[in-house]
C-alpha cells in the first residue's frame, strides 16, 4: 500500500495577513498544495492523510463574524484542493484550526475505515492546560474501543505526537504518551501512527512493533511531505518536496 501524508499548511487566503511565524508561508499554500497533490497523483497513492493545521486561524478575535466567515472560506479552499484527488482522504484539524468551522466543512470519521489491508482511525484531540496535548472523553473512549477490536491491522492518525517525545520549547507530545504507547503495544493491533504538529518532522521510527512517523510542516521551505510504502510486515518512508 502507498500512503501520502501531508500536514501543517497554516494557510491564509481569505483570512488577512500571514502566520506570525515568518517561515510559515501561509499565502503561498494554495499553489503549493496543488503541486503536492499533483505529485501524490503521479505517485499513485492509495490514500492520503492530512494531519491538521490546515489554516492559520487568528487566535485574537477568532470568533468574530469576519474571521469566522473568512476562516470557513479558507477551509473550503483546502477542501476544494484535496477533492481533486480520487483516492480516499482522511483530514484532521490541528491547534491552529477552528474546530467548529472544521466540522462544518469536513466530514468526521467516528469509526474505523477499512482501506486495503488496514483499518484507519482518525483521532480529533485538543491541547489541554499549558498547551499539552490530551486524549480525553469521547476520543479516549474511541481509542480504547479501537484497541479492543478484532479485524485488520490499524493505522492511527492524530495531529499530536505519541512518539518520539519532542517537548523542547513547546509541548508537541501527549502528556500521557507513555501510557498511550503501552496501550498500543499491548493491543498488538496497530501497525502505524501518523502525526503532524512537530514542524521538523520525523521520517519513521519503530518501537515495540509500531511505526511512528511525523510529516514535516508543509508551510515551511522546502515544503516537504511524506510517502510511505507499507504492508502488515514492513514500512518504508521517504520525504518529497515542492520547491
Q: What is the mean pLDDT of residues 39-53?
A: 98
What ranges do the domains of the chain cover? 2-241
What is the DSSP annotation of 166-209? --SSS--B-TTHHHHHHHHHHH--EEEEEE--STT-EEEEEETT
pLDDT of residue 74: 98
Q: Residue 223 contacts by C-beta under 8 Å, 6 or more apart in sequence?
A: 25, 32, 36, 241, 242, 243
Q: What is the pLDDT of residues 171-185, one digit of tens each?
A: 999 999 999 999 999
What is the dihedral sign for C-alpha 121, 127, 129, 132?
Answer: positive
**Matching residue, cell 482522511:** 90
Average pLDDT score over the chain: 97
User: Is residue 243 over pLDDT 90?
Assistant: no
Does the structure show a pLDDT above 90 at 85?
A: yes
Distance, CA of 88 to CA of 49 (rounded, Å): 9
Peptide bond just before 65 cis, omega within 30 deg: no
Half-sphere exposure of 232 (CA within 13 A, CB side): 11
DSSP single-letter state for residue 136: -
Name the nearest CA neighbour of 110 among 130, 83, 90, 84.
Answer: 90
pTM, two decimal places: 0.97
CA-to-CA distance for 131 and 108, rounded, in angstroms?
23
CATH class of 2-241: alpha beta
Residue 240 — very low, low, confident or very high, per pLDDT cuts 50/70/90?
very high
- Residues 93-130: tens digit of each pLDDT: 999 999 999 999 999 999 999 999 999 999 999 999 99
Amino acid at each position: 500500500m502507498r500512503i501520502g501524508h501531508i500536514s501543517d499548511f497554516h494557510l491564509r487566503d481569505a483570512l488577512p495577513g500571514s502566520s506570525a511565524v515568518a517561515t510559515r508561508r501561509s499565502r503561498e499554500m494554495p499553489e503549493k498544495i496543488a503541486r503536492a497533490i499533483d505529485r501524490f497523483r503521479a505517485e499513485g497513492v492509495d490514500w492520503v492523510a492530512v494531519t491538521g493545521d490546515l489554516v492559520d486561524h487568528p487566535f485574537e478575535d477568532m470568533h468574530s463574524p469576519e474571521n469566522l466567515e473568512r476562516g470557513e472560506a479558507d477551509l473550503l479552499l483546502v477542501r476544494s484542493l484535496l477533492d481533486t484527488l480520487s483516492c480516499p482522504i482522511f483530514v484532521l484539524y490541528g491547534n491552529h484550526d477552528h474546530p467548529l468551522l472544521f466540522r462544518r466543512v469536513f466530514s468526521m470519521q467516528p469509526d474505523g475505515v477499512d482501506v486495503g489491508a488496514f483499518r484507519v482511525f482518525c483521532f480529533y484531540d485538543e491541547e489541554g492546560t499549558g498547551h499539552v496535548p490530551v486524549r480525553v472523553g469521547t476520543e479516549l473512549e474511541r481509542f480504547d474501543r479501537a484497541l479492543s477490536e478484532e479485524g485488520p491491522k490499524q493505522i492511527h492518525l492524530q495531529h499530536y505526537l505519541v512518539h518520539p517525545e519532542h517537548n523542547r520549547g513547546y509541548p508537541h507530545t501527549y502528556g500521557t504518551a507513555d501510557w498511550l504507547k503501552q496501550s498500543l503495544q499491548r493491543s498488538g493491533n496497530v501497525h502505524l501512527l501518523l502525526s503532524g504538529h512537530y514542524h521538523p518532522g520525523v521520517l519513521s521510527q519503530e518501537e515495540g512493533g509500531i511505526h511512528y512517523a511525523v510529516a514535516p510542516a508543509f508551510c515551511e521551505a522546502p515544503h516537504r511531505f511524506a510517502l510511505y510504502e507499507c504492508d502488515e510486515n514492513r514500512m518504508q518512508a521517504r520525504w518529497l518536496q515542492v520547491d
